[in-house]
Each structure stands twice: as C-alpha cells, then as structure tokens.
Structure 1
Amino acid sequence: MSRSTDMTGRVSPESPERESSAMSALVLEAPGVVRERRIPVAPPSSGNCLIRISRIGLCGTDLGFYDGSSNYLHDGLKSFPFVFGHEWCGRIVETGSGVVGFDVGQRVSGHNFRPCGNCPACGRGDLRYCPGRSEIGVLGQAQGAAADYLEAPADTLVRIPDSLGDDVAALLEPASAALHAVRRLAVTGADRVAVLGAGTLGVVAAQLCRALGARVDVFDPQPEPRELAAELGFPVSVPENAEADRYSAVIEASGSVAAARSAPVLCAPGARMAQLGTPHHSVDGFPVADLVIKNVTMHAVLSGIGCWEELITFVESGLVRLDPLVDSAFSRSEVGAAFQRLASSGRRRPKILIRMS
C-alpha cells in the first residue's frame, strides 16, 4: 500500500506507518516489572509530529524507576504504571497541521520538556523553569519513548544527519546536558579542567572541553570507566589522586556524594564549577567554605535545551565520539535483560540501548 497524505501534508491513518489506533508500549508497572501493553495512538495534534521510535537509551534515572529507588517515585512526582524512556531517536511518520521545517521520513530526536505554556517562565521562553512542566518518561504524565510511537512538538525536535547512526542519535539527549555544563563554565584553551566521573556525562564533557582546547584530567573510582576515558586519550586517575586548588574549571558528572564533596576542594581560587550529576541523597559535609574562600562560581546544570545543534556539529566533526559509550543493545523483548545489564557493575562502557524497531 502506498503512503497517502491529507491536505495538510499529514500522513493518513491508513498509511503503512501507522495502521491502527493502538500501539505497543513497554510499561513499567512496578519495581522490576515491565510488560508490553497495547495503548492508544492518535494522529498528531497541531504543531506536533508523530515519530516511529527506533532506539531508546537507558540511564541511571531509568534504573531508579526500575528498582524503585527513584526520588521521583518517593516524592510523588511519578507513579506506576507508566511508559519509560527519555533518550530516544526515530523517524517522523505523520505531521500535524502547522508543522514547519519537518517532513515525513526525517530522522529526529529531541528534548523532553513539555512546559505548561501559560506561566511567567514559559512567557519568557525559560522552559527549564516552568513549575508545571512534564518530562517524557520522567516527570508528570507525559508518555515516555519506549513505545512504537511518540508524539512530540516540532519545536522540541532536531534533525539527525545521515552521518549519525541511530545508536549515536539516541545518546544526544544526555550529551546535550554535558555541553550545557561546558558552556555555562565558558571553557577555553586557557583552562585546566577536572572531570569527576567517567560515565556518559563525564566522558562527553571531557571530550567537549578538549575540543575547546582545555587540558582535561578525568577521575573515577572504578577501573572500567577509567579504561574508557584512557581509550579516548585522557589522563585518568582515582579521585584520591586529584590535587586540591589546581583546576580553573571542575565538572562533577557522576552524581556521587563523594564526588560532590570533593569538587569544591579541587577548584583553584576564582574557579568555576558545574554540578552536572544529580546526587540521589542530600550531600552532608559539602564544603561550602571552600566555595566562599576561593570565590568559586558554581553552576547547577539542568538539561541541554538549546545545545543540540551545536552538539551535533561536534559529533559530526569527530571531536566528540559517542559510539564508544555503547555497551550493548537489546531488543524490546529483552527489556528485563537490558535493565539487568544496566544494573550490573564492571561495565567499561556506560550506555545500554533498546532497539524498538
């Protein structure tokens, strides 16, 4: 059957891309329980695109939902059951009326914030600060990407060039947050940068800083992440070997309590610091006095909205490599094994992917 479109350019429901009003989705129903369920799917509303999902990436946030440890669950910001997944890529199969700049067949990814559109923050265009926002697969009721299809506003999307494969495209969401951190610190070739944590965020941040000419040292307590950072050409060591008062820029990218405590200590007088990782608990013993005495500027980093196009330029040029971050990819029928692999220790490469199509 050939594809047909209506007068708005939207693919008609009878097209082979979406033949019914229901789709298959991976629903997280309770800690450790994921089932494939049929849920509704409809043509995209005005300004939105319907995307056939190809890959999703799993991260620590997803693992916190899977094992029940997530603060989002404990604080009542998310509840079972829900479709998880917030790192994704796919291909547009339908466009709603008013969509400009995107066409059926294009590969896309995009950020996951769904602001209310009515508050003062939204009026200023400060989407990160919308108090009523949802984040797909994470916060609020917005459906996650672990499904056949995802409906997304066109203004949240970015086109994926043919030079980037689906596995790499699914990693752009976390990588964009690392670029946000680097830009907040205004890293230049004059900087000496310490990156704490050699997971996804840390390794991407380190590559970005190096691409900007900075000298970069990477620290991680585990040997396997250190091996990955060394493979990518960085000086690596354990955190205990990091020198105090040495670095003009420090990026805490692990979210560990120990790393958060040590980051201010590594800052030289007048340094800038970015808290890119998210600790899951309060950080007792955080050395505020070090920040004050050394006049450190500290940035807390949320999301990579606004950084995607620049990030893709870095990745296309080869200055940032995302493919070495992928440990393994599982089919959607192997979702339990994917989470088990995500939870396992001793992985040299941090990212687990699920092939949705």
Structure 2
Amino acid sequence: MYTLKLYGKRDIRYEQAEKPQIESSDEVIVKVKAVGICGSDISRYMKLGPYVEGMIFGHEFSGVIESVGETVNHLKPGDRVAGCPALYCGECDSCKKSEFARCENLTVIGSIYPGAFAEYVKLPAENCVKLPDSVDFDTAAMLEPSAVVLHGFYKTAIQPGADIAVMGSGNIGLLAVQWAKIFGAKNVYAIDIDEEKLTLAKRLGANQVINSKDGLVYDQIMELTNGKGVDLALEAAGSVITSAQVFSLCKKGGAVVFLGIPYGDVKVERFYFEKIVRNELKVYGSWNAISAPFPGREWETSLQFMAEEKICVNEMISHCLPLSKGPEMFEAIANKSEPIDKVIFYPELTR
C-alpha cells in the first residue's frame, strides 16, 4: 500500500509499505477514505521531526471497515467509521480512574505506531466510531479536531448568554467559534492576523472579528465589551505571543482554556500575568479529545452536531488531493506559498 512516512524535519516521503494485518482479536483494519493534516502534524514536520524515523504519519481520518478481529462484535466489514487516534495504556493511575486524556503513556497513531496517511490503518475496535449516512467522509475526518475543542469546552461552566473570545482562526479556532454558538454564546469574538480567516470565522458564526494587526487585542476587546471583557477566552492559535495575551481578554472571574500548543517558551509580561491574579481567572489546560466511556462523549456529541449540520467543516477545507501530493503540500504549507486551510487527502486516488 502507499503511505506518507516522516523521516525527519521537512522530510516526508510518499512510499510503499506492507498492508497492516490483524494480530489481536480486538483489532480492526480500516480502509482510509479521507485523512486530514492536523496543525500538530505541521509542527512536527517543521520543528520537531518524527517520534520514529520513517513512521507512517497522520491521525485525523475516516474510512470503511475492511476486516475485524474474532472478538469484535459491534463492527463488521463495510461499516463507515471515523477513527479516534488516541491509544491509552490502561495501567497507569489516570487510566484506572478512567481519566484517559491524562494517561501517563498516552500516544496516537502516526507517532510510534503506524498512522492514517495510508491506504489502510490498524487500530483497536473501540477506537472506531460508526457514522450515520448523513455524515460524509470529509466531515468525519474532522471528528477528532471537533472532539478536541469540545473536550476543552466541557472543562468550563460556560452558560448560554456568555461572551466568548477565540484566539486564533485556524481549524481549531473555527471549530471553537461554532461550538461557542452551540453552547449558547451571545457574542463570539474571533481573533487572528489573517483577514481571510477572519472572514471565514464570521461566516461560521463569529459576531465580531478582531485583527490583532490593528492594535492590542486587549484594547479592541475592551472597546467591544464596554470595558468588561469576556466570560471565556480560548487560546487556539498555539503561539507564544497569544498564549500570554489571552489572559487579558477575560472579565473578573472569567475563564481561559488552552487548546493550542506553543512550541517555544511563553514569556508573560506583568500586565498579562496580573490579570490571572487580580481578575481571579480560572485557567484550564485541555489535552486530547478522550474521556470515559472511551472514546468519550466528545465524539458522540461531535457526531450528533455534524449530522445535524450545526458543526460545518466544508468551508474550512481548501484542498482535496491524492495522498501522492503529500510531500509537496506539506512543503507548500511550510513555505506559505499559497493560502491553505484544511487539507484532506484521499489515499485511494492515484496521481
């Protein structure tokens, strides 16, 4: 089968590999129909390199069950599924408390186990979520990032009528805008430096958009909220700058949720840090997309709202390509040579 393998920083190759085989009775093989590039894939491609040299990369996917292990009863060949890529150990203290997102040995496919940038992928049967006919494969490939965002929302006590700011209008931020509306936000403020992304955020539900190139985000938020700030601010950009600025957006007693991962040291100026103390903010870190019963209500609820077309991803997808175009697409993203939003690969397509 054909795959994308990551060998080093900015070194991803379209190569053949052996088709996976079922080795455990609880495993399934999925024929991959659609697989997306995650923001974390870009960071690893550009900055971090692979966990294991030459590993099949990728983890956001949907497909069709090809074969099942002998003890798998709830899935059968031909079933349409999305894949939860997270693999927990089941033995650490967190796993014993069913706190799977806090597993001490948590990993995902595409890291130390073969991933989904491939024609076929293997994973435990419990990691497959069956799809209704109304959810297409492109949408289902974004079930995992939607669940990531919802995992963060579930940590908060946000109520209908709240004001919510979303820092960053990439894929996670755009999903957060939509979830904010579903949670009943009165006003959603989308923040970015890219006017095209802000325009898309407005179409997907943001009431106001803020370009941080136009001045301090703090000043702009205060002007729009009559000097009060927002009830909840979500950091979805994953930059060292926004990870400090986000503390200034909340009103007293507000909450901040970190969804992004800044791959660098975050230096917080006194002005921003004092907001945590003086405004008595609640600060939440949100990691992965899983809970109990595994893979968690994040997946079930995301699928529900996708089926109801209240979480919409089609406008977020800018490129649909054969898997063979992977190396050049990753490099185009790294070089910022063209406007690129969500990229979906179709492994079964030829060149």
Structure 1 residues 58-82: Cα deviation after superposition (integer angstroms, max 9, x where no partner): 1222122323x12xx4xxx813121
Tell whether 2:293 aligns with 1:310: no
Correspondent of 2:189 among 212, 217, 223: 217
Match of 1:294 in 2: 279
Q: Report what 1:284 is aligned to.
A: 267
Which residue pairs with 1:188 in the alignment? 159
Q: Which moved more, 1:180-189 or 1:46-55?
A: 180-189
Structure 1 position 56 matched with structure 2 position 35 = yes
Structure 2 partner of 1:162:
133
In the alignment, is residue 98 of structure 1 matched against residue 71 of structure 2? yes
| d(CA) in 2 for partners of 1:199, 1:274 | 16
The alignment-based identity, stated in percent, is: 27
- Alignment correspondent of 2:293: none
Q: Which structure exhibits the higher relative contact order, with contacts defined as CA atoms closer than 8 Å and separated by 6 or more residues?
A: 2
Letter in 2 for 1:319: K
Deviation at 1:260, TM superposition (A): 1.1
**Which residue of structure 2 lines up, in the alignment, with residue 25 of structure 1?**
3
1:172 and 2:163 are equivalent in the alignment: no
Distance 1:186 1:321 in 2: 24
Structure-1 residue corresponding to 2:25: 46
How far is the alpha carbon of 1:132 from its aligned partner? Answer: 2.1
Q: Does residue 325 in structure 1 map to residue 316 in structure 2?
A: yes
Shift of residue 39, structure 1, vs aligned partner:
2.6
Distance 1:257 1:112, change over 3 A: same
Secondary structure of 1:308's counterpart equals helix
- Report deviation, 1:283: 0.4
| 8 A Cα contact 1:53 1:89, kept in partner | yes
Amino acid at match of 1:335: G
- Confirm or deny that 1:65 pairs with 2:37: no
* Aligned-partner SS, 1:137: coil
Q: TM-score, normalised by structure 1?
A: 0.86
For 1:132 and 1:211, locate their aligned partners in 2 and report how far apart those are by CA, in whole Å. Answer: 33
Instruction: Work out which of the residue numbers 83, 89, 97 in structure 1 matches 2:62.
Output: 89
Q: Which residue of 1 aligns with 2:179?
A: 208
Q: SS of the residue aligned with 1:78?
A: coil
CA deviations 1:29-83 (Å, max 9, x no partner) are: 233331312235212521111111111111222122323x12xx4xxx8131211
**SS at structure 2 position matched to 1:336:** helix
Pairwise CA distance, 1:355? 0.8
Alignment CA distance shift 1:117-1:213 (3 Å): closer
Following the alignment from structure 1 to structure 2, what is the Cα–Cα distance between the partners of residues 304 and 227? 27
Q: Secondary structure at the match of 1:242?
A: helix
Q: Cα deviations across residues 125-180 of structure 1 (Å, max 9, x unaligned)?
A: 22222222321113xx2111112211111212211221111111111111111111
Is this contact kept in 2: 1:252–1:263, CA < 8 A?
Answer: yes
Q: What per-residue deviation string (whole Å, max 9, x for no partner) do you get for residues 209-258 of structure 1?
A: 11222121111111121121122242211133222641011111111122
Answer yes or no: is 1:334 the counterpart of 2:325.
yes
Question: Is 2:253 the partner of 1:253?
Answer: no
Question: Could you tell me which amino acid in structure 2 is paired with residue 299 of structure 1?
Answer: Y
SS of 1:261's equivalent? Answer: helix
User: SS state of the match for residue 184, structure 1?
Assistant: coil
CA distance in 2, matches of 1:170, 1:219: 25
Note if contact 2:66-2:77 (Cα within 8 Å) is conserved in structure 1. Answer: yes
Structure 1 contact 245–265 (Cα < 8 Å) conserved: no
Show structure 2 runs of 5+ residues with no match.
291-295
Match of 1:232 in 2: 204
How many aligned residue pairs are there? 327
Within 2, Cα distance between the matches of 1:60 and 1:31?
15
